């Protein structure tokens, strides 16, 4: 496939190539924020430090 692309035989672009990674990153950040808000002690377990203890 790469040889065909380099030779110019494949000219189509992948749809959503720049949009899909951004959506995945935003969704992952939303899950992390939601988890910290709902279960704040998870942050303490992940950091393994009493500085981040929220309760």
**pTM value?**
0.56
Regarding predicted confidence, which is higher, 40 or 20? Answer: 20
pLDDT digits (tens, 9 = 90+) for 5-39: 667 777 777 788 889 999 999 999 999 889 888 88
Q: What residue ranges do the domains of the chain occupy?
A: 13-52
Residues 36 and 15: their CA atoms lie apart, in Å, by 34
54, 44 Cβ separation under 8 angstroms = yes
Q: Is 22 helix (H, G, I), strand (E, B) or coil?
A: helix
41, 54 Cβ separation under 8 angstroms = yes
């Amino acid at each position: 496939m790469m040889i065909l692309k380099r030779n110019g035989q494949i000219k189509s672009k992948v749809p959503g190539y720049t949009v899909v990674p951004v959506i995945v990153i935003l969704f992952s950040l939303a899950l992390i924020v939601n988890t910290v808000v709902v279960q704040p002690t998870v942050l303490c377990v992940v950091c393994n430090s009493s500085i981040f203890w929220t309760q």
